[in-house]
Chain A
Amino acid sequence: MKVSEKDVAYVAELANLELTVQERDAMLHDLNSILDYIDLLNELDTSTVPPMAQVSTHEYASQEKKHAIPCDASGEDILEGLRPSLPQDLALANAPDADGTFFRVPKVIER
């Protein structure tokens, strides 16, 4: 068995999941069965194969547009330029708990 009960508990913690006892048992079984299947990949010698880093075979935006943008960090994602951000009331509209200015969460720091 590749994955132990201890691994399931550790990975659940990393993934911010609690999982019930039944869910942990099922997960132990399912993860081991899927990972056994994934072992198929070990048939392949990939020691000289580079990992895929880009899916697309093309430049995402044209060189012309890239050069038109000043090199600042915020322009990095949107090559065509900056855009207005979401207004605060809209950004807060779906919050489970907000006070009109901030998202409210349970206390983080003990005093």
Chain B
Amino acid sequence: MDLHKLSIDATRTAIQERKTTAFALAEACYARIQKEDGQIGAFLTLSKDRALEQADRIDRMAAEGKQLPPLGGVPVAIKDVMVTRGVRSTAGSKILDNFIPPYDCTAVARLESAGAVVLGKTNCDEFAMGSSNENSGFHPVHNPRDLSRVPGGSSGGSAAAVAADMAVAALGSDTGGSIRQPASFCGVVGLMPTYGRVSRYGLIAFASSLDHIGPLTKTVSDAALVLRTIAGRDPMDATSVDLPVPDYVAELEKPVRGLKIGVAKEYFGEGLDDEVRHAVESAIDKLKSVGCEIVPVSLPHTRYAIPTYYLIATAEASANLARYDGVRYGRRANGVKTLPEMYRRSRDEGFGAEVKRRIMLGTYALSAGYYDAYYLKAQKVRTLLAQDFKEAFRTVDAIVTPTAPTAAFRLGEKSNDPLAMYLADIYTVTADLVGIPGISVPCGVTKEKLPIGLQILGKHFDESTILRVAHGYEQAA
């Protein structure tokens, strides 16, 4: 039995039935990390003591014949933007190099309460700002499918850890596509829930009106199970919504026949790679063959999403990252004489180039005289983007698009051109701006065997439908 290729449910069942132990499984994952991760670079910190203690607890339950919780003994990896009590949490930044959080992120705590074994913290672009993982303050991540390629970003470490069987599932965060795009590049499933569906308490903030936590998994069913575990109102996050959490796993059983699936021409225009186009069109045909009705829709403001995103995300980031001042936690520069010098030098030394670029752009966009022209304008265009989807969802249940315009690109290919890098998120940013859920599911490979992702977007709080469509496609493919 190849344990690290198991799904969540099969893992829990194997432990429940005493075919293996959670402890042995965690050890097997660490052995695989030891062997593989030198060349991939997915992990920044391993939380071995915490993992083995939890594994032991699960094994005792299994030995006593108790029913294991839904993720009992399942080894998971956590993107390092989520804080973990007593385990170093860096957000991929040198400025938090030595930060040991005093509390747990709610999503992580909920996974652990459901029995998950947290193996460690995964690499990411610094403060989740990037689309290739090359902006990590520590080292880049290499795509396990082709080591010369990027894994995508910013949750590249989480996607790579799952793709390379170093963890059964992972948590990532998505602000402009950071779960779905790396899922697409690494050939795994990545789900961004609706804004407000999952608590962000303990998520190191990038852009608060855009940040989401969600799962990266091997199957759609696993994504549904993780979402069911982490979703729901949390008193610690005022933006988490008090709506009942459906049983997303049970909902997968509903048929997809008769669902109306929208296809928007704006997502198939200039810049889309031919192989990706072909794979996505084949996937649409497949959905049609299982009884979905394909309906053309229009999302006319799509081309304005990237410029809108780069104003709102950077403006919010400039405010959120003002807290790194070298006073309460994080890096402080040595040998400084005055307080302003301490702030500036600590931030200069601690932040990388992309983070500084975004802080500068965001500060500029919010500065006196420019607020109306930039930030306010962007928030108005955001309303137009939301109206596009509201209109489209009058006639369809879900919308399918490519997740990214290309398959994984090479390390170094775009790292000197910020604008070219920003366009890697062209099909994903809109869902973040509008607050709707989206999932990326593998839909074939290029001639060079690089994975391609199909994105399915849904209505607010209707994760059930996009999971169902993704599951229906996955089963048919």
Residues of A bordering B, CB below 8 Å: 3, 7-8, 10-12, 14-19, 23, 26-27, 30-31, 33-35, 37-41, 43-44, 46, 49-53, 55-62, 65, 77-81, 83, 86, 90-91, 93-97, 103, 105-108
Contacts and interface: CB of A to CB of B under 8 A. Distances in A.
B229 to A, nearest CB: 20
A53 B140 CA distance: 36
Contact of A58 (B236, B347, B380, B461): B461
Given A40-B307, A97-B332, A7 B364 contact: yes
Interface string B239-283: 111110000000000000000000000000000000000000000
B461 A15 contact: no
B359 A49 contact: no
Interface in B60-100: 98-100
A33 to B, nearest CB: 6
Highest count of chain A CB atoms <10 Å: which of B99, B325, B360: B360
10 contacts: A8-B360, A15-B359, A51-B380, A61-B242, A79-B238, A94-B329, A96-B329, A96-B331, A96-B332, A106-B336
Shortest beta-carbon contacts, A-B, top 3: A51-B379, A94-B329, A96-B332
Contact of A41 (B242, B344, B378): B378
B185 interface: no
B322 interface: yes
Contacts of A30: 357, 418
B48 interface: no
Interface residues on B, range: 35 or more
Nearest to B307: A38
Given A49-B384, A56-B196, A17 B359 contact: yes
Contacts of B445: none
B417 to A, nearest CB: 9
A10 B242 CA distance: 43
Given A38-B310, A40-B303, A93-B102, A78 B235 contact: yes
A52 B383 contact: yes
B419 interface: yes
B233 interface: yes
A80 B235 contact: yes
Nearest to B384: A49
B134 to A, nearest CB: 16
Contacts of B310: 34, 38
A37 B305 CA distance: 12
Given A34-B419, A50-B383, A57-B460, A94 B196 contact: no
B344 A108 contact: no
B221 interface: no
B363 interface: yes
B195 interface: yes
B154 interface: no
B381 A61 contact: no
A69 to B, nearest CB: 11
Contact of B344 (A17, A62, A65): A17
B356 interface: yes
Interface in B369-383: 374, 376-383
Contacts of A107: 338-339
A31 B361 contact: yes
Nearest to A104: B327
Contacts of A27: 356-357, 360
B367 A11 contact: yes
